[in-house]
Chains A and B, each alone.
Chain A
Amino acid sequence: MTVQSPRFYETVFISPPGLAEDAVEKIIGDVKDTFVSRGAEIVRIERWGRRRLAYRIDKQQEGWYVLMHVKGPGTAVEEVERKMRINEGVLKYLTVRLDDIAGAVEHAEQRIVRMAREEEERKVRAAERAQRDEERVPTDVDEMGDDDDEGDDR
């Protein structure tokens, strides 16, 4: 067989929300071991925590999201995916091959920072909205009634 240049993959999997956090950690450990046993190397792991699913999977509305960046052969990915299909602790998974791991990692770090900031902003806005709702005064009639004499001509 020809020598392969290293490949990079990004695997995301979702575990059922009913699992405890350490049960998820155990799955992460298993996945990690599988990767390593097949000659892959874990670059980094991201835990997104419990997140709402965009659609129901196995009657679940939420799931634990875990992302892994790995470097290694495709056979390792094959084996990990095979095990995930069997594992009841994995609702769904997605593996994407990356062209540029450094870029992907950097991008991921930026995304984490950005998401944290957006989350913060969301909280602030929610607080503001709550406050506004409290001191809500019924708004008066809109000002749309002008008769449009300032046409397009000028």
Chain B
Amino acid sequence: MSMDRDRDRGDRGDRGDRDGGRMGFRRRRYCKFCEDKVVNIDYKDADMLAGYVPERAKLAPRRISGTCAMHQRKLQTAVKQARNIALLPFTTE
């Protein structure tokens, strides 16, 4: 049983070397805010923030947006402030 699993894993490793173990394209994750060296995220920039609150107007998790931990926290604050002043919706109707 355990041998089977080991072999499986080895197999997958062989393939994974080429395409990162994923079908299709591989997207490099990076934090856009780090790239632009953003210090403070502005709640007034609603168009930019809207890109981080898809569909249900919920803030996209880091694993989707690729934002680093520090900027995700700032982004969270900014989104909440923007919602407060009706620049962003709390939810979609």
Interface residues of A, Cβ cutoff 8 Å to B? 12, 14, 53-55, 57, 63, 67, 92-94, 96, 99, 103, 107-108, 111, 118, 152
Question: Restricting to B61-92, which residues have a CB under 8 Å from any CB of A?
Answer: 81-90
Minimal Cβ-Cβ distance residue in A for B91: A55
Provide the B19-40 mask, 1 if CB < 8 A to any CB of A, else 0.
1000100000000000000011
Contact B84 A54 (CB under 8 A): no
- What residues on A are CB-neighbors of B42 within 8 Å? 107, 111
- What residues on B are CB-neighbors of A111 within 8 Å? 42, 44-45
- What residues on A are CB-neighbors of B88 within 8 Å? 54
- What residues on A are CB-neighbors of B19 within 8 Å? 152
Contact A94 B45 (CB under 8 A): no
Where chain A touches its partner, the secondary structure class is strand
Shortest beta-carbon distance from A104 to chain B in Å: 8
Q: Bound complex: CA of A63 vs CA of B81, how far in Å?
A: 17
Q: Bound complex: CA of A82 vs CA of B70, how far in Å?
A: 34
Interface assignment of B52: CB less than 8 Å from any CB of chain A: no
Contact B47 A118 (CB under 8 A): yes
Contact B86 A55 (CB under 8 A): yes
Interface assignment of B12: CB less than 8 Å from any CB of chain A: no
Question: Total contacts A to B, CB within 8 angstroms?
Answer: 40
Known contacts A96-B43, A111-B45, A152-B18: A55-B81 contact under CB 8 Å = no
15 A/B residue pairs, CB under 8 Å, sorted by A? A14-B85, A53-B86, A54-B82, A54-B87, A55-B86, A55-B89, A57-B86, A67-B44, A93-B85, A96-B81, A103-B40, A111-B44, A118-B47, A152-B18, A152-B19
Q: Bound complex: CA of A55 vs CA of B87, how far in Å?
A: 8
Provide the B35-59 mask, 1 if CB < 8 A to any CB of A, else 0.
0000110111111000000000000
Known contacts A152-B18, A152-B19: A54-B44 contact under CB 8 Å = no
- What residues on A are CB-neighbors of B90 within 8 Å? 55
Contact A12 B47 (CB under 8 A): no
- What residues on B are CB-neighbors of A53 within 8 Å? 86
Q: Bound complex: CA of A136 vs CA of B60, how far in Å?
A: 36
- What residues on B are CB-neighbors of A63 within 8 Å? 86
Q: Bound complex: CA of A100 vs CA of B83, how far in Å?
A: 23
Q: Bound complex: CA of A71 vs CA of B83, how far in Å?
A: 25
